Every structure is written in structure tokens, then in C-alpha cells.
Amino acid sequence: MALAAEHFEKAWRLKPERRRVLVDLGRALQALGRPEEAMAALLAASRGGEAHAAEAARRFLPARYPYVYEFRQALALDPGNVELRRELAFLLLQMDLRDEAEAELQIVTGTAPDDQLGAAQLGFLYLARNVAAAAMPLLDRALKGPDAELANRVRAVLRQPQLAGSGLPAQPLAEAFEVKLMAERSYSAGYLKDALRYLHAARRLDPSDFTVPLKLGWTYNILRQDRDAFEWFGVARRSPDRLVAQEAAGAWRNLRPEHAPVRFSAWFLPVYSSRWRDVFSYGQLRTEWNWRRLPVRPYLSENSVVLAVGAASRTWQGLTFWGEAGSAVSYLDRRVLPDYRGGVALWRTFGHPIFFETVYDGVYVSRLGDNLLLYAQNRAGYNLPPVRGLANLQSRLYWNGNLTVDSRREPWANAFETGPGFRFGWVGPSYSFLLSVDYLRGRYTVGRGNPFPPRFSDLRVSLWYGYQY
Amino acid sequence: MATNTELVRRACLLGLLAVPSAWSQSGFAVLSHEPGSWPAILASVGFEPRPPAEAGIFVLRPGSSGSPQWDERVRQGAFLILEGESSLAGSFGFRPGEERIRAASVEEARLPELSIVWQKPLELPRFELPAGARIFARERWTGAPLLAGFPRGQGAVLWVAADPGERGYERFPYLIHALRDLGLDPPFRSARLWAFFDYGHRARVDPEYFAPRWRSAGIAALHVSAWHFFEPDPERDAYLRQLIEACHRHGVLVYAWLELPHVSEEFWRRRPECREKTALLQDAHLDWRKLINLLDRDCSGAVQSGVKDLIIRFDWDGVNLAELYFESLRGLEAPARFTPMNGRFRELFRRQAGFDPIEIFGARRDPESARKVLEFRAETAARLQEEWLAALDLLRRAKPHLDLVLTHIDDRFDARMKDALGADSARMLPLAQRYDFTFLVEDPATVWHLGPSRYTEIARRYQRSSSSAGRLGIDINIVERYQDVYPTRQQTGTELLQQIRHAASAFPRVALYFEKSILAPDLPLLSPAAAVVGKAERLRNGLLVDSPHGVGVPSTGPVLVNGKPWPVADESVVWLPAGSHYIEAARAWPPVRVLDFNGELLSAAVSGGGAVALTYKSSSRALARISRKPARLLINGMEAVLETAGPGAVLLPRGANVAVIRAE
């Protein structure tokens, strides 16, 4: 048997195109108990050359996919096997070993200048690395080659129009599949801009594949381009595939508050204060048209309805600027007063579960004698773990430290207060329901003309309900 | 321009509600603007294209729309072939799943071990099948169904996963076989094939078992490897006699197939001085042949004496002088295989040319010297062939019924053969009339990988230069090809059927090498593939058939041919002579019938008093199997000796004759 193996190998070296001899060599080596060498011979026979020999070799190969080292051993036996080397390169790409894959493809394109597939793949890799000068000659090979389908795949990546070459119809679905594969490889390897290019090409080739817009959404999301991510998630949430649609819809809802062109929100905040022995109710209904960050919003306020046009900056690092101009209509006496407001708000939270939260609001209100108010609220405390048995009930214990000042030195608007608080409730993607109980001890900082005692205690119970769509 | 869907709709409206007859099933319609290879596939066994209103077989390619009418039509007898994915295929339960498979290797249910490999793999969806569908072929590694079908009512549905390929056999060799399994019977039969029988491969077969099978496969004559019987041997001789008798009883003629200059193993061993030499001056044992120097008078005399004894010793119907030239296909390139280089050849050449021919492999490597040797070699081969034809013709004095066949490699389509083998058909074809032989063109191995349509071109080249075109034949080698061919190494299925069809259309005679290499699934379809019909048309209640060599028409009852009771028919096939004939149903069988006739039937008639009259011609004896025990034989009006082979088979003399066979 050893002699047979020796002569099979010699015979194959003499006539390397006779791939069946490689199968015979593999079988002889198997019979000799030399499994690795047998694997190398059979693997080499199973790729490239006669399809009959390839199929015959498959009968003796294990059902699993070969390992990289087995490919390398087969290539050591049959270094001129272009198909085998190309497949190794694809395997290495799958494993994100891009450099090694490139090296194999360089050998492929060097030894087999007619191998359009290898040239195209190497060209794609160069393109992904933005080495267009190296990529284009390779892609040109594929474009000028006889494989019309491959040429169209290259055109898709280069954003060129598809052609029906050699009388064959273009096959956009197959191309989309290939391009999508490239996109996934780029995404997995962290080459997000390449991934975006491939994904857009795949989207053009096969608009019916909703996994592509979903992937586009996530890629833009990772790139912090949430406006684009929001749009692609919106496309993907219409997928007929339930899982794709669910995933996309969840992501879309999370981004919607910031990026929806039309946004509706409402909140309602009744507060009981023992200091004032009264219940104050605040609420707002707001519809925003996200026109280049110019919202337009009517809302309810105090004892009046304020119909206004306003503008707000996008929140940056917790800082928001806003301004409104409109008319306040009292729903008690129906008086109409001009109303101009503007302000700045800063909201920052640090830490979890031990946290520190600070909220600063600076407000200019024309209707209150052109007054400028500053209200600083600080809370430090501990976020308790959510209670899963109660639909993830959230709660926190904290200590308040608040300061109010204004430019007109109104006694009611200048005070300091401190004390414990407890808040609990539920927060979902489009709603929130929170109940807060605070016990505060305070002191007015303006004594002149102040009709109230200088110190006060205040038990505040407030309910927050917000909804947005 | 009508779309495919419109075509299908029109077909439904036009003819699909008509009840089909057996004849309507012989016509097919591909309801697509791109028929692909379907016409070639279906025509390989005689189905003909018809307008949809007249067709019984419908091919609906991918994208065809569904219609409830199809189900009804199938129930009434239509055979529906569905290709790939379509709403119609879906309506019959053949639906693509989400999984996709790479298909490159096919496992055929009827021959699971046969390697069927696609040259170009395809990516296909894995299809779901309707309950009860029979799977004919699967993808070998995933088990995904590729060819399936089911009978429904009087018809059937066959579904195929992908386009069968440009030629019709690249992917699914057994489409026709699957249709046959579903009940579709090809429309015509032929019983004119020849087949080679190699005793070396068939030493133990039971002739009584095989002879009727060969005959039902359309085989008229078996060419038996006679070199195994060159030297008398009681056991072997008894076997051969048994084989010949069994063949005759079942209507199969038997020819002695000679492979000179190979004589026999024993002759090679006993007469070492007669061994041919290669250009390396080694004994010429090339492949299985052990070549003898037939230029040497003593050796040639011994061989001629042995051949004469061989022909006389057995009841042969003919002799096939095959491949009597030199070796090898590689010509001058391979001196180790180059023959002849025996002393006599070298001496004869030296006398004529003035140098030893072996020098062309040494000192004289100039093209002129090589040309002289090759021309002399071709002349020598032609002279040998003629000498042997003359010697065999002489044997007709003792056995006047002997047919002669000269099997000769093609050197017109593949012109390299003359220099490679010394084979020169131009020298032999003019001798066909003198020695009255069939010139059987051997398909050279160098062009085995070309498609079946090559036979048309080969025939054209021989017919142009032969005055006896009617005695031309083609020998198809059904063996594993050394070329990289797809989907099977050896011709089988549609490829083989197309080969036979093209060959039978181009040549009057088709021989198959060899009967053992024909795979079992192909055997029942050889006869339909070889049946050539120029025109077949349904007229009134009958069928008008025009054929160049005669043809069998499936029929289970008695028939009238051209308005008269027809006596040449068995229980399933009516056999018609060449030419145009009108066939219609009759009320009763004639009192005596010729169940099978092995010869060229010119006409037949029911004769009074329980007799049947046959006008025929035959290059060898003819065999007629009679439905009742024969009692008397008249040949051309003269009482003749009634020679029988078994109870019902009558041996009729060679030539053109009128035979009246009277039954007891």
C-alpha cells in the first residue's frame, strides 16, 4: 500500500490535471493510517479541477468543514490549487483574519491572473481599506472578465449600474447576498464605514431584504448617527419577518423621541404642598415638528392656556436652551395676555446605584414683570433594585437640597430648602409614571416685605405622568 | 407577444378539456417562449412537438401560473412536467422552503451508486413535496429532492427542481425514465439494433434469461467475441451453441466478432514467433489485445485455418471483421505502442522505400520518411482487410447465409486516425459492393466527449463517399470515457437515448458496444430511442405513419394496415414496413401471426388456409417467430426446407425474398 501511495503521488505529479489520482492517493494514505496526509490529498482533490474527482473525494472526507491547518496542508501538497487557496482565503475572512486572507488572495491573483473571483475579493478588501489604487486594477479584471454575474457584483460595490453581460440577466439577489456577506464581515471586523457602503449596495440590489435596513440602523447607531439609524429602523420595522420587525420597532421607539419628524408628548404633574396647603397641577400637551430642530408647540400652563410658538435647542450634555412667544388665555377669566418666555435648563445625573442629580432651570417670563428666575434642585441618594414581580417597579431614596432666586427679589421666589425624599414608579419606552414624596425644611432668603414666616416645612406629594409618541 | 401565463391559459382553453387518447400522449407542448432542452429530451424517445390542443405532455417552466384546470386535465390523462418554482408547481404541492442547498451531485433512486455529477453546481431552495410523491432523484449530500412526481387519475405530474441543462442531460439523466415510471409510454419501437457481447465479461450469463430481454430491447443481432472460441473447447463450445440457439429462438441473430490481429490467448502463447512487434521491437501486447503478425504467411495461414474452423463449427449468422489495422491512437508519439514493426513489414517497406521503417524513431526523424512509413502502413492495413474480406467471402460457399460486417474506426470526422492506426476508410468503402458487407463506423474514442449530434456529421461524410449508403452503420461505444465528461462518466439516460436517436436517424444500422455496459434502466428505452419516424399523424380513427426503416407501434389489439388485416404483431406492438402506412383498429386477429420478424420487412399479408406471406430482404438469414407451429415454407413460390430454431422461429434465407409460412 505504501508503494501504491508513493506511485499515486508520482503519477499525480506527472499529470496534475488528473485529480482522480489524488483521490486514489488519499484512499491509499487512509488505508495506511496516515489520516492527515490523506485529508490533505482528499481536500486538494475536492476543490478545483474535475467535478467528478471532487465529488468522489467528498465521499471520503469527514462531514465537518475542514480546519485552516488542513487547508494549509492540502496547499502544501497542491500549491497550485487556486480554488483551494481561494476557499482558504474566504475561510480566513470569515474568521476575521483579514491580513492572512489578503496574503492568500495575493497568491491567488499572482499565480492565476484569470481568476476573477479572487481578484474581485482582493479588490473588495483593498477597497475596504481605502486603498483604491490597489483595488481598482483587480476590480477591473473582474469587470472585464467573462463572468457577468461577478462583474455586476463588482459594479454594485462600485455603485455602477448593473449590466446584462454575455446575454445573461443580472442577478441582483445573488449579488445582494454577496454584498451583504461583505457587509457583515466588515461589521464584525469593526469596519463600520465599509459595512455601511456594502449595506447600501445590498439595499439597492434587494430592497425586499429587511435585514439590511435593520443592520444599517444598528451600524448608524454605533456610529452615533442616530437620525439615520432612526430612519433605517423605521424601514426595518415594516419587515414581514416578525423577529426583524420586532427588533427594529424596539430600536425605533427608543430613538423616536429625539428624531421623529412629528412628536406628540403630554405630561401631567399634580403636586400637593403642605406649605401652601393646596394642590398645584401642571400639564403640557405638545406636538413637535422636527424641522431642522425647530419645534412648534402649544401647551397648558398654570391657570391659563398658553398658545405659543417656540424653539428649543437639541439637548447637549444635558443642557437645553429654549424660547417661546405666544398668548396666555386665562381659563378662569378668559383674559388674553402676551407671553414671552425663554430659558436654559441643565440636567445631569451621575452614578448608579448611588447617584447625584442636579437640575438647574433659568427662566425669563415676560408675563411676571419680566422676571428672571433660577431654580436649582440637587438630589443625592440610592437607586433601589427594580422589583421584577411588580413589573420592574423602580424606586429611589434621596436627600434634597434646593435653592430658588430671581432678579426681582420677590420673597416667594428666594428660598433654600432641604430634606429627604422617596420616589417610585414605572418608566417605559414611551411613558413614565412616578410618585414622589418629599419632606423639606426651608428658609426664605429675602426677609423684606415677606408676609410668611422665615422658616417653613413642606410635605410634597407629586405625581408625574408622561407620555410621548 | 403573449406571456407564458397567457400561453398556459390559451392551452387550457384550447385543448386541455379534451379527453386524450394514447396517441395524443405522444405529442408534447412546452408552454414557454424559451423551450430550453425539453424538445431534445422528449424527442429522444420519439415524442413530437404538437400544438397545445393536440398534445398530451405539457412542460411548464418556472413562473407558470396555477389553474384548477390543470388538475382536471391531469386526471383525464395529461402528463404535466413542472420545472422549478412556480405557482402551478406550488398548487400541486411542490413548494420551495427557506433552506437553500448547493446541488452538485445527484443520487438517482434507481441507481444510487451511479455517480451523477454536475459540472456547474447550482444553489437551489429545498422544496417541499406533496404527500405521496415519489422521489426519483435527490441531492446526494443533503437529501433534498430534485426530481419527483406522482400519478393522478389517468395522467401524472413530474416535477424537476432545475433546468435540465443546455443539452437536456447535464443534470437529470433519467427524466424520461421517471416519466415512464409514471406511466408514459414512448410512441414507437425499433427492433433493429445490434449489440456486442463480450464473453470475457459475460462468461456465466444464462442465455435463456438474457435472449428475450435483448430482443425486447430492440436488439436484432448479437456480435459475440469469437476469439474466446478460436480453439475448440468442449465446455466453452457448448456454452456458445446454447447462446446461439437461445438467441435464434428469441429472434436474435448471432455474428462472430473477430478482433484480428488479436487471435486468441492460446495462439499467442503457442506461436510466439507470430507475435507482432512494436517500434521498440517488443511483443505487441497492447491493452487486452495480443497482436499477431498477419503479414507472415505461416502465421496468417494458421489464423485463416483457425477462423474457417471457427465459422464452420458454430451456427453463426454473420462475421464481423473488426478493427483490423494497427496500433495505437497515439501514433508516432508512442513507439512503445506503434505497430506493425515485425520483420516482414520492415522487409516489405525496405524493398519499396530503401530504408528500415524503424529508423523513423531513430536516425530518420524527418517528416518525409515518417510520411512514407505511414502511407505504406495504411496500404498494408487496407491490403490485409481486403485479403480477410475475400477469405470470409469464400466461406459463403459453405454458408451462403453469412453476412459480413467491417467495423472500421472513423477517419473522416477525426482525420488523425489514418496516421494513428493506419485506418483508411477511403480504401475500404469501394469494396462494400464487391464483398457485400456492412461498413460499421466505429466512433473514435477521441470524440466520445462530443455531443450526440456528431453522428449526423459523421454519417454525412461517409454517405458522400459511399455508393452503398444503405449498408452503413455506426458503432456507439457505451463505456466510461477517459475525458472529463458530465454528468456521468459513461453514457446513460437521456444522453444515451439522444445518441441512439441521432445515430439511428443518420445511419441505417446502429450497433452498441456492449450489451453489458448498457445500464439496466436504459434497456427498456433503447427500442423507442432507435425508432425513427418521418411523420406520424392521426387521421380519422387511425394513424398514418411514415418511417425509413420500418417501425413498431404500440397496440394491444388487432389492426388493419392500409385497410387489410395485418399479420405482423404481437400482443403489444404492431410492426410496420418502411414507408407510409395507415393503421387502424380491426375486429379480430388473423389466424396466424408473425410475432416477431428479424429482417427488413417490405410487406406482409394474411394468406388463406392459415398462412402468412412476408416480403423481405435481409443481409443475413432472417428469423420469423410465428404464433402457431410452422408446417411448410415457400420461398419465392418454391417449396423450401423448413429450418426452425425452437418451436415457433423459422429461419429464412438471406437476400430479398417472398416467404409464405403455413402453420399446422
- Cell numbers linked to A117: 473571483
- pLDDT category, A170, cuts 50, 70, 90? very low
Please return the burial class of B238, using the count of CB atoms within 10 Å of its CB with bins 0-12, 13-18 and 19+.
exposed
- Which of the pair, A430 or B440, is modelled with greater confidence? B440
Q: B530, B551, B567 — which closes off a domain?
A: B530
Q: B181, B207, B227 — which closes off a domain?
A: B181
Predicted pLDDT at A276: 75
Closest CA to B175 of B93, B87, B257, B110: B110
Q: Which residues contact B661 (CB under 8 A, 6 or more apart)?
A: B592, B594, B611, B612, B613, B614, B624, B626, B630, B632, B633, B650
Of chain A, the percentage scoring pLDDT greater than 70 comes to 84
Mutual angle of helices B367-395 and B297-313, in 10-degree steps: 40
Which of B484, B486, B488, B490 to mutate to probe the A interface, most A CBs <10 Å? B484
Residue B575 shares a structural domain with residue B593:
yes
- pLDDT category, B25, cuts 50, 70, 90? low
When CB atoms are compared, the residue of A50, A51, A56 closest to B104 is: A51
Q: Give the three-state DSSP class for A456.
A: strand
Residue B237: C-alpha distances to residues B196, B199, B232, B241, B321 (Å): 18, 12, 7, 6, 21
Q: What is the DSSP letter of A170?
A: P
Helices within B468-570 (DSSP H only): 493-506, 523-530
Could you tell me if B486 lies within 8 Å of chain A, comparing CB atoms? yes
Predicted pLDDT at A297: 42
Separation of alpha carbons B608 and B630, rounded Å = 15
User: Which of A45-54, B349-358, B393-402, B651-660 has the least mean pLDDT?
Assistant: A45-54
Q: What is the DSSP letter of A142?
A: H
Q: Which residue of A has its CA nearest to B119?
A: A51
Separation of alpha carbons B70 and B13, rounded Å = 11
Q: Give the three-state DSSP class for B318.
A: strand
Average pLDDT over residues B82-91: 91
CATH number at residue B40: 3.40.50.880
- Which of the pair, A15 or A324, is modelled with greater confidence? A15
Average pLDDT over residues A406-430: 86
Residue B589 lies in a domain: yes
Mutual angle of helices B454-465 and B493-506, in 10-degree steps: 20
Average pLDDT over residues B592-617: 95
Could you tell me if B456 lies within 8 Å of chain A, comparing CB atoms? no
Residue B610 lies in a domain: yes
- Cell numbers linked to A116: 476573477
Separation of alpha carbons B545 and B534, rounded Å = 8
Separation of alpha carbons B593 and B558, rounded Å = 10
Average pLDDT over residues B394-405: 96
Separation of alpha carbons A236 and A208, rounded Å = 10
Predicted pLDDT at A261: 67
Average pLDDT over residues A139-150: 86
Separation of alpha carbons B504 and B528, rounded Å = 11
Residue B511 shares a structural domain with residue B539:
no
When CB atoms are compared, the residue of A50, A51, A58 closest to B118 is: A51
Separation of alpha carbons B476 and B500, rounded Å = 8
**Which residue type sits at B74?**
V
Q: Cβ–Cβ of A50/B105 closer than 8 Å?
A: no
What phi, psi does B116 have (nearest 5°)? Answer: -115, 110
- Chain A neighbors of B121, CB-CB under 8 A: 51
Separation of alpha carbons B132 and B148, rounded Å = 10
Residue B424 shares a structural domain with residue B520:
yes
Predicted pLDDT at A201: 80
- Chain B neighbors of A50, CB-CB under 8 A: 484
Predicted pLDDT at A106: 94
Average pLDDT over residues B340-344: 97
**Which residue type sits at A164?**
A
Mutual angle of helices A35-46 and A68-77, in 10-degree steps: 80
Bridge partners, B30 (sequence order): B59
Predicted pLDDT at A355: 92
User: Which of A16-30, A282-296, B269-283, B506-520 has the least mean pLDDT?
Assistant: A282-296
Residue B203 shares a structural domain with residue B141:
no
Predicted pLDDT at A149: 79
- Cell numbers linked to B581: 402506412
Please return the burial class of A257, using the count of CB atoms within 10 Å of its CB with bins 0-12, 13-18 and 19+.
middle
pLDDT tens per residue, range B198-246: 999 987 789 999 999 999 999 999 999 999 999 999 999 999 999 999 9
- Chain A neighbors of B118, CB-CB under 8 A: 51
pLDDT tens per residue, range B31-65: 887 899 999 999 999 999 988 888 999 999 887 76
Residue B394 lies in a domain: no
- pLDDT category, B191, cuts 50, 70, 90? very high
Separation of alpha carbons B281 and B358, rounded Å = 9
Average pLDDT over residues A226-245: 83
Touching A: B residues 70-109, CB under 8 Å: 104-105
Q: Which residue of A has its CA nearest to B124?
A: A174
Residue A321: C-alpha distances to residues A297, A310, A348, B253, B414 (Å): 15, 11, 15, 108, 92
Predicted pLDDT at B22: 45
Q: What count of other Cβ atoms lies within 10 Å of the Cβ of residue B179?
A: 23
User: Which of A387-401, B35-49, B574-588 has the least mean pLDDT?
Assistant: A387-401
H or E segment and range at residue A130: none
pLDDT tens per residue, range B142-154: 999 999 999 999 9
Predicted pLDDT at B456: 87
Q: What count of other Cβ atoms lies within 10 Å of the Cβ of residue B557?
A: 12
Range of the domain at B426: 193-333+403-530
Residue B502 shares a structural domain with residue B473:
yes
Predicted pLDDT at A151: 85
Average pLDDT over residues B623-643: 96
**Which residue type sits at B224?**
V
Residue B221 shares a structural domain with residue B272:
yes
Could you tell me if B484 lies within 8 Å of chain A, comparing CB atoms? yes
DSSP string, A279-292: EEEEEEEEEEE-BT
Residue B11 has pLDDT above 50, yes or no: no
Residue B342 lies in a domain: no
Predicted pLDDT at B467: 65
Residue B338 lies in a domain: no
Residue B523 shares a structural domain with residue B611:
no
Residue B166 shares a structural domain with residue B245:
no
| Order of strands, sheet of B611-618, starting from the edge strand that comes earlier in the sequence | B600-607, B611-618, B655-663, B630-635, B638-640
- Chain A neighbors of B486, CB-CB under 8 A: 51-52
Number of structural domains in chain B: 3
Separation of alpha carbons B119 and A59, rounded Å = 17
When CB atoms are compared, the residue of B140, B141, B489 closest to A52 is: B489
- For chain B, the average pLDDT equals 92
Q: Give the three-state DSSP class for B499.
A: helix
- pLDDT category, A337, cuts 50, 70, 90? low
- Which of the pair, A389 or B402, is modelled with greater confidence? B402
Q: Which residues contact A467 (CB under 8 A, 6 or more apart)?
A: A265, A266, A267, A430, A431
- pLDDT category, A290, cuts 50, 70, 90? low
Q: Give the three-state DSSP class for B242.
A: helix
CATH number at residue B327: 3.20.20.80
| Beta pairing class for B655-663 and B253-258 | unpaired
User: Which of A213-217, B38-42, B288-292, B495-499 has the least mean pLDDT?
Assistant: A213-217
Predicted pLDDT at B531: 97
Separation of alpha carbons B382 and B429, rounded Å = 11
- pLDDT category, B273, cuts 50, 70, 90? very high
Separation of alpha carbons B291 and A393, rounded Å = 100
Please return the burial class of A390, using the count of CB atoms within 10 Å of its CB with bins 0-12, 13-18 and 19+.
exposed
Residue B129 shares a structural domain with residue B142:
yes
CA distance A59 to chain B (A): 9
Q: Which residues contact B137 (CB under 8 A, 6 or more apart)?
A: B106, B107, B108, B109, B116, B145, B146, B147, B172, B174, B178
- Cell numbers linked to B351: 524493398
- Cell numbers linked to A7: 506511485
Residues in chain A: 469
If DSSP states are collapsed to H, E and C, what string results for B100-141? EEEEEEEEECCEEEEEEEEEEEEEEEEEECCCCCEEEEEECC
Predicted pLDDT at B477: 92
User: Which of A170-179, A342-351, B64-73, B503-512 has the least mean pLDDT?
Assistant: A170-179
Predicted pLDDT at B106: 97
Q: What is the DSSP letter of A436?
A: E
Average pLDDT over residues B631-655: 94
Residue B46 lies in a domain: yes
Q: Which residue of A has its CA nearest to B486?
A: A52
Residue B304 shares a structural domain with residue B261:
yes
- Chain A neighbors of B119, CB-CB under 8 A: 51
Average pLDDT over residues B472-497: 93
- pLDDT category, B465, cuts 50, 70, 90? low
Bridge partners, A267 (sequence order): A284, A466
Of chain A, the percentage scoring pLDDT greater than 90 comes to 31
- Which of the pair, A222 or B660, is modelled with greater confidence? B660
What phi, psi does A202 have (nearest 5°)? Answer: -65, -40
- Chain A neighbors of B171, CB-CB under 8 A: none
Most confident range, picked from B31-35, B385-389, B446-450, B605-609 = B385-389
- Which of the pair, B617 or A330, is modelled with greater confidence? B617
Q: Which residue of B has its CA nearest to A59?
A: B141
Residue B625 lies in a domain: yes
Separation of alpha carbons B473 and B176, rounded Å = 26
pLDDT tens per residue, range A395-417: 999 999 999 998 888 877 889 99
Average pLDDT over residues A308-330: 67
If interface means Cβ-Cβ distance under 8 Å, which residues of chain A face chain B?
A: 50-52, 54-56, 58
Residue B627 shares a structural domain with residue B652:
yes
Q: Give the three-state DSSP class for B604.
A: strand
Separation of alpha carbons B51 and B538, rounded Å = 13
Residue B170 shares a structural domain with residue B86:
yes
* Dihedral angle of Cα B121, B122, B126, B132, to the nearest 10 degrees: -80
Q: Cβ–Cβ of B486/A51 closer than 8 Å?
A: yes
Angle at CA of residue B413, ends B408 and B417, nearest 5°: 55
User: Which of A136-145, A175-184, B159-168 has the least mean pLDDT?
Assistant: A175-184
Q: B510, B530, B550 — which closes off a domain?
A: B530
- For chain A, the average pLDDT equals 82
- pLDDT category, A253, cuts 50, 70, 90? confident
Most confident range, picked from A48-52, A154-158, B74-78 = B74-78
Residue B109 lies in a domain: yes
Q: Cβ–Cβ of A52/B115 closer than 8 Å?
A: yes
Predicted pLDDT at B162: 96
Residue position matching grid coordinates 454528468: B487
Mutual angle of helices A211-222 and A192-205, in 10-degree steps: 160
